[in-house]
């Protein structure tokens, strides 16, 4: 991959930690920051737009693209597949963008193996209780899904040491400043 012009940024954190809110603010502050739009087999949440938040695909389409080698990485997370389409990321990096891969840790570890020098950022909640409160507060998931996501969050937080930077999202604006400082 041509990494000369732009750069790839690995960006992870437990479900409900506020990664999306921080990223939205980052994009307003720095127009070269772009989100890599992933493919997913999960159903859209209310308000999510195909091609903007995710490309919503069937399991068959996803499997076909795996077979064609179309993903930079992919993972199964809480019963759905998520993957980063290689072509789109290459294009944006080639255009000079700071391309954020907002992905869970299994996929992130695959990318770290491919690009050991990649800039990686992990967003942490102020506490686990606070994370649970936020996840329940957004009222987008049923109890079973919330339970799975909290279980997954404990696992994810345990691998935070693999990331170059860990940033606590206590105050969103402060977290945005900290991310801007590390991406340069
Ligand atoms: P959500 O269903 O809440 O949108 O996403 C669930 C998890 O999947 C989040 O941690 C999110 O960052 C991650 N995710 C989103 N896209 C990708 C992707 O392309 N690959 C991987 N490995 N994880 C992803």
Task: Dump pLDDT digits (tens) for 27-74.
Answer: 999 999 999 999 999 999 999 999 999 999 999 999 999 999 999 999
Residue 1 inside a domain? The answer is no
What integer is the mean pLDDT of 125-137? 92
| Ligand 1 lined by 156 (C-beta under 6 Å) | no
Residue 136 inside a domain? The answer is yes
Residue 2 inside a domain? The answer is no
Confidence of residue 141 (pLDDT cuts 50, 70, 90): confident
Query: What are the C-alpha distances in Å from 8 to residues 43, 60, 91, 153, 177?
Result: 27, 28, 12, 24, 19
Residue 122 inside a domain? The answer is yes
Tell me how many domains the chain contains. Answer: 1
Query: What are the C-alpha distances in Å from 111 to residues 11, 37, 89?
Result: 11, 16, 12
> Domain with 72 in it: what CATH number?
3.40.50.300
Cβ count near 166 (within 10 Å): 15
Query: In angstroms, what is the span from residue 167 Cα to ligand 1's centroid?
Result: 19
pLDDT score for 15: 85
Residue 170 inside a domain? The answer is yes
Range of the domain at 12: 7-183
């Amino acid at each position: 991959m041509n990494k000369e012009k732009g750069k790839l940024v690995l960006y992870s954190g437990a479900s409900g930690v506020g990664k999306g809110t921080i990223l939205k603010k980052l994009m307003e502050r720095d127009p070269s920051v772009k989100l890599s739009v992933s493919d997913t087999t999960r159903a859209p949440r209310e308000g999510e737009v195909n091609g903007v938040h995710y490309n919503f695909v069937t399991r068959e389409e996803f499997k076909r693209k795996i077979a064609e080698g179309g993903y930079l990485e992919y993972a199964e997370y809480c019963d759905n597949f998520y993957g980063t389409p290689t072509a789109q990321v290459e294009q944006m990096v080639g255009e000079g963008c700071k391309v954020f891969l907002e992905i869970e840790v299994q996929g992130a570890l695959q990318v770290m193996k491919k690009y050991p020098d990649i800039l990686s950022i992990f967003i942490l909640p102020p506490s686990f209780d606070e994370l649970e409160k936020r996840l329940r507060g957004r009222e987008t998931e049923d109890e079973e899904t919330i339970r799975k996501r909290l279980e997954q969050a404990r696992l994810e937080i345990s691998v935070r040491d693999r990331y170059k930077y860990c940033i606590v999202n206590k105050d969103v604006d402060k977290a945005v400043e900290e991310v801007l400082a590390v991406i340069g």
